[in-house]
Amino acid sequence: MWKDKRPILFGGDYNPDQWDDAVIEEDMRLFEQAGVNLLVLPVFSWAKLEPEEGRYEFAWLDHILNKIWEHGIHVFLATPTSAQPAWLSKKYDDVLPVDIAGRKRTHGMRVFFCVNSVHYRERARALAEAMAERYRDFPGLAGWHVANEYGTYCYCENCQRKFRDWLRRRYGTVEELNSRWHTSFWGRTVYDFDEVMVPDERNDDYRFAPAVQLDYMRFVTDSTIECYENEAEVLKAATPHLPVFTNISGFIKKLNQFEMVPHMDYAGWDNYPAPTDEPAFPAFKHGIMRAARDGAPFLVAEQSPNQQNWQPYNKLKRPGEIRRIAYQGLAHGADSSLFFQMRQSVAGQEKFHGAFIAHCGANSRIFREACALGQELHKLGDAFTGSRIHARTAIVFDWENWWALELTSGPTQDMDYLKQVFRYYRAFYAQNIPVDIVKTSTDLSGYDLVLTPLLYMIKPGFAEKLRTFVEKGGTAAATYMSGRADENDRCIFGAYPGPLRDVFGVWVEETDALYPEESVELVMMGTESGFPEKRYEGRFLCDLFHTDTAEVAAVYGKSFADGKEQDCFYTGMPAFSVNAFGEGRAYYIGCEPDDRFLARFIARICREKGITPLFPVEGEIELTCRENENGRFVFAISHGKETGKVHLDGDGACPGKRYFDLLREKEVSGTYVIAGGDVAVLKEL
Ligand code: GLA
Ligand code: ZN
């Protein structure tokens, strides 16, 4: 096992139970050639490890693990509990889930069990115990990977019972439940917890009641945490010195990862950007994952070395693309670059999914790119693992707010919290200003600038925290759809943004939804510096708000539909304002402004706080900086075709001037020229 610090983990999911010895031998040779230092297995082998209840067959796994270790490769041992064997589904009625339509599902799918099933949990724990017992001293063991991409929503009778117990614990009395769920609306009063139903499709009232849905999502998250802990506890007890985690699907919405991940030693997530995603989008998701453990390094647990099979159009990765994707993860705080999968399978649903070794064998462009990446990562070793990113700006992202905003009926069908928050993230990203995604529970005192886009749900304590932050000199910015509801989705009377009204110095009277083809002008009053153009464009939703103490910085101007002017009764009303509060400032943005406005706005509020980009650049270059006991590491990734420049000697947030280029092994300073599509890791000297 690695004695001190771990190098960047490089390798990925390996399913050797599909292969004979000759293939495994060949794989070992190729993995060594590629510089692989970690394999994750056996993710889906429960059926093979426990062919009948209580009878374990570990010999085949021993054999493979020994072979792997003979080649000096470490493993994350996976409890294969995301795909239960047929005998388990058949023998115990509580194992298979009941779906939202109320249908009891049949066996045959992975991640397809009720997380509250007593028998599933019993057998999963027993298997985890048997594995821990057998492999706790295996020298190549580097950590445990529990199950795979949790995310099943079940609506069975057992879940219903447990949901009622969960509510009893949360609310104590039915009176409290009635008040929190505001059941007097539509006469849904509950007289006994036993009358609460799961919000499946047989029950439209519950299915569309946001308060019920919200609690069900919280309940499923808690149940999944219990299900994870059921195994993790056993593994942790056997090997307290080793990390335990599960990999998180890139479609992260349905489980609250900010609740789940703190139970793990790593946030490990599966990064599968769509070919059409702009590079800022995976960067944003890395930021969310980094936030889950308050800035600690995370893992990229899966990414594809080439195409997917499940996207509508499965594009090949372009030459150099895997390298950029891998470095982007590292640049944003990952300590690994792990892939799904090492060898393409012969058959099955994913037979056309990319792999290090594809059906054509290792004489391939992709394998050569994997080898080149492996060699580079080997060279980087453990220099920056464990390092963190330091940002003075933060964007608040709240999982339950995500659920609540999108569960709400109105004001628009196009609500997409992730996408909306991303626009604010991208404005920082485009200017290479480090920004942290933070939770509502994060201590804000270390930041100078905090944005809370669409923070509709204000949880207890948050308003006070933001108020103190601004009072003490911080700059805050909020948008339309802010401060509307409490954690049970009960709206706040006394005008939005509710408890933040005094901080922003505004109150919202109404909100207009725009059709996708509609826009409204934002006309600057000329009071705010940094907005050279007088007119910008707003879309999506328009808050009609009034100022108490805030100064109006822009008003709504003309309204257009498909570029044609139309009547607008709120022309001249405030659209954007700034409030001096305590020693700080609080901005309110009444509608969704265009990118031009956002770029100006972010630059303006950063400048005011003395926050600058890491370095001045020319060209499409993404910059980040990680820091550990070895010093500062600057990552530069070119996403353009043209040659770009990083002015290391320019004025920026990164004070260093002389660097060592770790990949090219030479000292650099002044203007660093980076070829189109290339990457660099520079260590400050
Ligand atoms: C997910 C799963 C993997 C595999 C990949 C394919 O992330 O965890 O087992 O199915 O997708 O992209
Ligand atoms: Zn269930």
Q: Residue 598 maps to which CATH number?
A: 3.40.50.880
**Residue 663 domain-assigned?**
yes
The number of CA neighbours under 13 Å toward the Cβ of 350 is: 16
Distance CA 207, CA 195 (A): 15
Say how many residues make up the chain. 685
Query: Which protein residue's CA is at the shortest distance from atom 3 of ligand 1?
Result: 340
302 is catalytic: yes
Q: Are residues 574 and 674 in the same domain?
A: no
**Residue 104 domain-assigned?**
no
The number of CA neighbours under 13 Å toward the Cβ of 188 is: 21
E strand or H helix at 127: helix 118-135
The DSSP output letter for 134 is H
Nearest residue to 620 (alpha-carbon basis) of 674, 659, 662: 674
**Residue 189 domain-assigned?**
no
What's the confidence (pLDDT) of residue 333?
A: 98
Question: Structure tokens of 659?
Answer: 């660097």
Q: Are residues 451 and 496 in the same domain?
A: yes
What's the confidence (pLDDT) of residue 656?
A: 85
**Residue 637 domain-assigned?**
yes
Bond prior to 613 in cis (omega within 30° of 0) = no
Annotated catalytic residue within 50, 231, 302, 518:
302
Interval 70-83: pLDDT, tens: 999 999 999 999 99
Distance CA 466, CA 481 (A): 17
The number of CA neighbours under 13 Å toward the Cβ of 496 is: 25
Query: How many separate domains does the chain show?
Result: 2
CA of 43, closest atom in ligand 1: 9
Distance CA 365, CA 627 (A): 34
What's the confidence (pLDDT) of residue 251?
A: 83
The DSSP output letter for 270 is E
pLDDT interval class at 657 (50, 70, 90): confident
Nearest residue to 468 (alpha-carbon basis) of 487, 491, 444: 444
- Residue 596 forms beta bridges with which residues? none
Q: Are residues 564 and 424 in the same domain?
A: yes
- Which of 76, 306, 350, 356 for mutating ligand 1's site (highest number of atoms within 8 Å of CB)? 350
pLDDT average, residue stretch 582-601? 98
Helix (H, G, I), strand (E, B) or coil at 469: helix
- Cβ of 437: how many Cβ atoms within 10 Å? 23
Q: Are residues 592 and 624 in the same domain?
A: no
CA of 247, closest atom in ligand 1: 8
Q: Which ligand is nearest to the CA of 148?
A: 1
**Residue 434 domain-assigned?**
yes
- Helix and strand numbers (H, E) in the chain are 18, 30
Q: Are residues 471 and 588 in the same domain?
A: yes
Is residue 490 within 8 A of residue 599, CB to CB? The reply is: no
Of 589, 608, 627, the residue at which a domain comes to its end is 608
Q: Quick one: how far is CA 326 from the chain centroid?
A: 16
| Ligand 2: centre distance to CA 156 (Å) | 4
What's the confidence (pLDDT) of residue 427?
A: 98
Residue 111 has pLDDT above 90, yes or no: yes
Q: Are residues 622 and 676 in the same domain?
A: yes
Residues 6+ apart with CB under 8 A from 87: 51, 52, 53
620 is catalytic: no
Interval 369-407: pLDDT, tens: 999 999 999 999 999 999 999 999 999 999 999 999 999
pLDDT interval class at 204 (50, 70, 90): confident
In CATH, what number is assigned to the domain containing residue 659?
A: 2.60.40.1180
Residue 166 has pLDDT above 90, yes or no: yes
What's the confidence (pLDDT) of residue 208?
A: 84
Q: Are residues 679 and 593 in the same domain?
A: no
What's the confidence (pLDDT) of residue 203?
A: 85
Annotated catalytic residue within 50, 149, 231, 528:
149
Interval 281-323: pLDDT, tens: 999 999 999 999 999 999 999 999 999 999 999 999 999 999 9
**Residue 304 domain-assigned?**
no
Of 574, 608, 642, the residue at which a domain comes to its end is 608
Q: Are residues 581 and 672 in the same domain?
A: no
Q: Are residues 665 and 521 in the same domain?
A: no
Distance CA 622, CA 613 (A): 11
Q: Are residues 408 and 517 in the same domain?
A: yes
Range of the domain at 419: 393-608
Q: Are residues 662 and 621 in the same domain?
A: yes
